[in-house]
Amino acid sequence: MAAASAATGVRSWLQTRDWSFLTPQRLKVATIVLFVLALSVSATRLSGSTPTHAHHPPVHAGSG
């Protein structure tokens, strides 16, 4: 969700620029590219869980 929000923010920023080469068709393509890039990076590079090496070893009942 954060990735899509960031892509939307970048798209809005691009829209406010007065760049002559950024036609409505190119802005549409840029929007699609931004969303695909943001979602693919968030799906492959970002993790919402703690890395396994940060956990303590499991404690077993009756061992000791």
Output the pLDDT for position 27. Answer: 86
Average of per-residue pLDDT across 1-7: 78
Residue-wise pLDDT for 6-60, tens only, equals: 888 888 888 888 888 888 898 889 888 988 888 888 777 766 666 666 556 666 6
Q: Give the pLDDT score at 52.
A: 60
Residue 64 has pLDDT above 60, yes or no: no
CA–CA distance, 30 with 16 (Å, rounded to integer): 14
pLDDT of residue 25: 92
Domain ranges of the chain: 1-7+20-44
Q: Quick one: which of 33, 52, 54, 48 has its CA closest to 2? A: 48
